[in-house]
Amino acid sequence: MGKGLRSSVNKTNNRKLKKNVFGPVETARTERLSQKLLELASQPKPPKSDMEVEESNGENSFSCETHLP
């Protein structure tokens, strides 16, 4: 008895692991991602390019007409 995941010793050990081992790794990762996002946000946006749109005679070239025999 006492070796299951509901054991108070296992819960205590898992809490200590999360606080001492995985906690700093997670905060470091969050910092790296935050710095990367701040760097991307501070860069100037690329100029917006206008697309050339061809005008047609009111006809859609990709119409969905169904021809039944």
Let me know if residue 33 belongs to a domain. yes
Query: Could you tell me if residue 38 is inside a domain?
Result: yes
- Determine the pLDDT at residue 62: 59
14 located within any domain: yes
The answer to whether position 32 is within a domain reads yes
Q: Which residue has the higher pLDDT, 64 or 33?
A: 33
Residue 48 resides in a domain = no
Query: CA-CA distance, 17 to 9, in Å (whole number)?
Result: 12
Is residue 16 assigned to a domain? yes
> Looking at the domain assignment, is residue 13 inside a domain?
yes
The count of structural domains within the chain is 1
What CA–CA distances, in Å, run from 28 to 18, 24, 32, 41, 55?
A: 14, 6, 6, 20, 54
The encoded tokens of residue 64 equal 């969905």
For residue 20, the enclosing domain spans 7-42
Distance CA 12, CA 20 (A): 12
pLDDT by residue (tens digit) across 17-60? 999 999 999 999 999 999 999 999 998 887 887 777 777 666 55
The closest of 13, 20, 19 to 2, measured between CA atoms, is 13
For residues 6-18, average pLDDT: 93
The predicted pLDDT at position 50 comes to 76
